[in-house]
Amino acid sequence: MLLSTTQNVHSDSVGTTPTTVEKASARTFNVYTATIKHLSAHLSKGTLTSSEIVDTYLRQIEQWNPKSKALISVASREQVIRLAEERDQERREGMVRGVMHGIPVVLKDNIATDVELGMPTTAGSYALLVGKANLTELASYKSLKAQDGWSAVGGQTINVYNPKASPGNSSAGNGVSVAAGFCPASIATETDGSIVLPALASALYALKPTVGLISRAGVVPLATYFDIPGPMAKCVWDLGTLMDVNWHGDAPSNLSLASHIATAFSDAITLMSAHGATIIDPADIPSAVDGSFYRCRAGARSVVVNAGFKEDMGRYLRTLGGEGGVRSVDDLIRFNEEHADIEMPPDHPGQDVLLRTLHAVPISSPAYEEAVAEMHYVAGERGLDAVFRETGADVLFSLGDGGRHSLANMVGYPMGASSGDFLRLSRR
């Protein structure tokens, strides 16, 4: 495990439960287990101030971010403490604007933020932003050879539970920043798996909302057909809170681990049944059974992603005014070639995925429309819609591997992630 279980600034031992946090002496809390719910309760009771909360998280970041590289940029201590003090004064005057008032969060680095915060967007309520999360460069849309969680600006994000394991894909820094105790929750983005997979890698809860439910204003696009922001947190209550705040729509060994996962999955089904859920098993997805989903994922879905990236990223770059001479995907490819020592070092070579966009079809073309229609049929009519229609189920519950997350993304449906029994294994 990367992080020490004994050194914890202004906090109790890592084993502290949320109940213990509630009873902790004034001015202390556990950065590894603290949730929005518990911090908000402390603020309401006056046992913590926003200034104290922010100071504690900043100290944790200063100590561990150089090793984890979860954050690509960190807010100015002076500035964010000043903002926290303003939130404290507002609270004293009875001006509390919601549960997130004065609570720090982290945003993925492809979400634009106010320039006055001093944290550039390199791929942006009254909550306080303490940092921008590192990410796989260009949201994993650069090269198949690039490692998860690496960017030329931020370096390699490290999984806090196992430095040799993947930290998840594009939103790796979001998951690691929450698990490492840099913040109670974070806002990430997903095109296809970039919220749920990093959350699973960091033993968190996450929600990839229905496309269009949350505004994408200020989000660097990959392919707007799929793109959507969403939260990662340490409990489901926090996910709901962050969704309420952001609800503004657009116009061991592998063998032993596999055995443990199967047991945990079975236990979860038993627990849901004990709490009144009707379990329908199996609930097979027709297009996954006959293989058409996997063919569509590699074919039609790639057509839509490539076309969307070329169009949407090009439009985004042009709105920036062509800083650095980059106004299109072609310019971006050329920039990487001219700065290969930084953008394509030996451990992260190539930009083969980017190069595919040079041959992308226009989004106004019949080929693009046919690909979208195929996705809707395979992932919808012959996929999720078929299961819901034939079983009458309200929710599908599945293991997080095998690429099944793409089914929801291909039709814009919501999707969540749960840490399962990994919390017990990681002793958080």
- The catalytic residue positions are 108, 170, 194
The gap from C-alpha 323 to its chain's centroid, in whole angstroms, comes to 27
Return d(Cα 422, Cα 263) in angstroms, integer.
12
Establish how many alpha carbons lie within 13 A of residue 410's alpha carbon, considering only the half-sphere containing its beta carbon.
32
Closest CA to 423 of 234, 237, 253, 184: 234
Q: For residue 8, is it left (φ>0), alpha (ψ between -120 and 50) or beta? A: beta
- Residues with Cβ within 8 Å of 316's Cβ and at least 6 positions away in sequence, in order, are 220, 221
DSSP string of 64-88, one letter each residue? HHHHH--EEEE--HHHHHHHHHHHH
Buried b (16+ CB within 10 A) or exposed e, 230-245: bbbbbbeebbebbbeb
Q: How far is CA 148 from CA 11, 142, 191, 196, in A?
A: 31, 11, 15, 14
The answer to whether the CB of 211 falls within 8 A of the CB of 228 is yes
Return d(Cα 94, Cα 89) in angstroms, integer.
9
